[in-house]
Amino acid sequence: MARKQTPDFEQSLSELQTLVERLESGTLSLEESLGAFEQGIRLTRDCQAALSQAEQKVQLLLGEGENLRRVPFSSEEPSA
């Protein structure tokens, strides 16, 4: 099932990026811009939901039940 969610997330993210580029181009009419904005909001919510589900799965994998602890993510290497 996780395999199915990944393409949906990637596809939504790609569509969102395309919408942003179209909106930034300034070539859309007001009505088209509003429609694109609405679609972008839906895609953003879909992406947030997918990321939230992924985060929950990672948390379950890192700990079991009551022993679950949150660890902040950092892209920097820890200092020695």
Domain range list for the chain = 13-64
Q: Give pLDDT tens digits along the chain (80 positions).
A: 444 545 589 999 999 999 999 999 999 999 999 999 999 999 999 999 999 999 988 888 877 656 656 777 776 655 54
Q: What is the pLDDT of residue 61?
A: 81
Amino acid at 74: S
Which pTM value belongs to this model?
A: 0.65
Give φ, ψ of 34 to 5 degrees. Answer: -65, -40
Distance, in Å, from the CA atom of 22 to the CA atom of 24, rounded to the nearest integer, reads 5
